[in-house]
Amino acid sequence: MGRLGTLGLSQEQLDNLRYYKYAAVDRSQLTKYVLRHYWNWAITLFPTWIAPNLITLIGLFFMIINVVFIAIWLPDLGTEGPTWIYFSFAAGLFLYQTFDNVDGRQARRTGTSSPLGELFDHGCDALNCTYVALLQAAALGLGHTSSTLILLVVTVVGFYLSTAEEYYTGVLYLGYVNGPTEGILVSCFAILWSGLFGAASWHIPVTEVARLSWIARYLPEATTFADVFVWGMVFFFVVTHCPVCLYAISSACREKSLNQLREFARVLLPLLAYVAAICLWVFSPYSSILADEHLILFSLTVGLVFGMMASDIILAHLTKSPFPTFKRALIPLWICVLIVNSGCISSILVLSPAVEYGGLRGLFAGYVVVYLMWVTAVIGDICDHLGIRCLAIPRANHNNRAVPTTIAETEADSLLVSQEEGGPQRSNTQTNQPSYNTF
C-alpha cells in the first residue's frame, strides 16, 4: 500500500517491526479479582475463526451506533431521551470494554499476535475517546455547553499522555484506578442512572439532598450532580493521571539520557496546539458552534484529528521512529481556527453561521478521507510486510493456539500473563534494538 506515497511506511520502519514486544501492566484490583475472570469466560464465546482485529472493530461499532442514536434522538444533548437509549449507551460502552479486552486474548488463543494488533486496538481506542464523551454528555443532559467540551478535552488529553508514556517507557501502564477499567464502569453506572431516573436528575442541586448537605458547604452555590461528575473527572485527571504520566516520561528520559526539556516540548507542544485550537474555535466570539448546536459534528471532527495523532504515536512506538510532529493533522484545523477568528483582524472577514457550519462539514469530510487513506496505507504496508491479513486469520490457526517454540517465547508469554494479572513491571530495556536520534 506504499502506492499511496508518503502516507505509507518506509522500509526502515517496516524492518523495525521485528523488534516489537508487547508489554503491559494493569494494577487495577477490579481487573485482577473480577473482570479478568469475566473476560476469560467471554473469550470462550468467540469462535476461533474470528480475527482479533475484527473483534476490536465490532466493539467500536457498538459505540458508533450509539453516537448515531444521539444524532437522531438527542441532537441537542440536553433533552430527556427515551429510556431505552440510556440502556443502549451503557450496554454499548460495556460491550466495547469487553471486546477491547477480549481481542488480545483471541490473538494469543489463535497465535496471531502482531504489531498490527496493538496499532489497531489503540487506534480504535483513540477514536472511542470522542464517542465516550458524547455518550456521557447526552446521558447527563449537558447540552452544547462548555461542560461537554471539558469532558471531551479531559478524555483525549488523558489518552494522549498515556500513549506518550508508552512511547517513552515501552510499557502500557494502567494504574490502580484507571480510565479504561474503573472510568468506563463509572460511566456505565452514571448512564444507567439516567435510564432509571432520567437525565434531569443530574441537574438537581446538591443542596436539595439533605443527606449531602455537609458536602454542599464545600461546593459552589447551585452545584448540580452533573457538575460534580464533570469536575470530578477533571480532578482525578489532574491529581492522579497527569502527574503519573509526566513522571513516567521524565524517568524514562533520565534512564535513556535524553534531554527532558526537549522531549517534553515534543510531547506537550502539539497537545497544547490541539487544545488551543479547540478552545479558540469554539469560544471565539465569531463562532456559532455552541449557539447553533453543532458541537457533535465539531467533536467528531477534532476526534478524527486526535485519532490520527494518537495512532501516529503508537506507530512511532512500534517502528522505533522519532516522536511525530502531527503537522498533517493540525495544520488544516488551525487554518480553520484562524479563518473563524479572522473577525479579530477585520470586520469584513467575519463568517456567517451558515458558512462556518459548511466549512466544518467540509473539514470533517476532508479528515475522514485523509484518515481512511492513511489507515489503509499503513495497515496495507504492515500486512504486506508481515504476510498477514488485518480482519482474517489463517485457517490453520482456527483450532490451534500457537505454542511457543523457544524458551524466550515461553518466558515472554508467561510474562504477558503476569503483567495482565497485575504482576511486577519489567524493564523495557531490550538487546539488539536499533538506535535513532537519541534512542
Tell me the domain boundaries of the chain: 2-420
Alpha helical stretches, state H, 43-145? 52-73, 83-110, 115-140
User: What is the Cα–Cα distance from 57 to 95, expressed in whole angstroms?
Assistant: 12
Residue-level pLDDT at 397:
58
Cα 323 from Cα 317, distance rounded (Å): 8
DSSP 8-state code for residue 75: T
**Tens-place pLDDT, residues 213-239:** 788 788 888 899 999 999 999 999 999
More confident residue, 412 or 16: 16
* CB neighbour list of residue 127: distance below 8 Å, 6 or more residues apart: 60, 303, 304, 307
pLDDT, mean of residues 71-79: 96
| Contacts (Cβ under 8 Å, ≥6 apart) of 219 | 206, 227, 228
Taking the C-alpha atoms of residue 107 and residue 390, their distance in angstroms, rounded to an integer, is 12
Is residue 294 annotated as a catalytic residue, yes or no? Answer: no
The pTM of the full predicted model, rounded to 2 decimals, is 0.89
Whether pLDDT at 399 is above 80: no
| Among 148, 234, 139, 128, residue whose Cα is nearest residue 190 | 139
The DSSP symbol for 44 reads: G
The grid cell for 95 is 460491550
- In CATH, 2-420 is 2.60.40.10: no
What is the pLDDT, as a whole number, of residue 427? 38
Q: Which pLDDT does position 90 carry in this prediction?
A: 98
SS3 content of the chain, % helix, strand, coil (to 5): 70, 0, 25
What are the backbone dihedrals phi and psi of residue 381, each rounded to the nearest 5 degrees, phi first?
Answer: -65, -45
Active-site choice (37, 122, 144, 398)? 122
- Start-to-end CA distance of the chain, whole Å, equals 28
**pLDDT at residue 398, rounded to an integer:** 57
User: Average of pLDDT values for 49-71?
Assistant: 97
Tell me the three state secondary structure of residue 25: strand
Span 279-302, pLDDT tens digits = 999 999 999 999 999 999 999 999
Residue with cell 464533570: 230
Q: Give residue-wise pLDDT tens across range 125-164.
A: 999 999 999 999 999 999 999 999 999 999 999 999 999 9
Task: Centre a 10 Å sphere on the Cβ of residue 259 and count the other Cβ atoms it contains.
Answer: 11
Distances (CA, A) of 146 to 153, 261, 276, 301, 344: 10, 32, 14, 17, 22
Q: How many helical (H) and strand (E) elements, i.e. helices and strands, does the chain have?
A: 16, 2
Q: Cα(396)–Cα(363) distance, rounded to whole angstroms?
A: 44
When the pLDDT of each residue in the chain is averaged and rounded to a whole number, the result is: 88
- Whole-number Cα distances in Å, 417 to 73, 256, 311, 409, 412: 43, 27, 25, 13, 9
- Lowest pLDDT segment from 183-187, 277-281, 377-381, 400-404: 400-404
Mean pLDDT along residues 324-349: 86
Q: How many residues are present in the chain?
A: 439
Q: Which alpha helices (DSSP H) does 283-397 contain, by range?
A: 295-318, 327-340, 353-386
Q: Cell numbers for 342, please give them.
A: 479572522
**pLDDT digits over 80-107, tens only?**
999 999 999 999 999 999 999 999 999 9
C-alpha cell at 276: 488551543
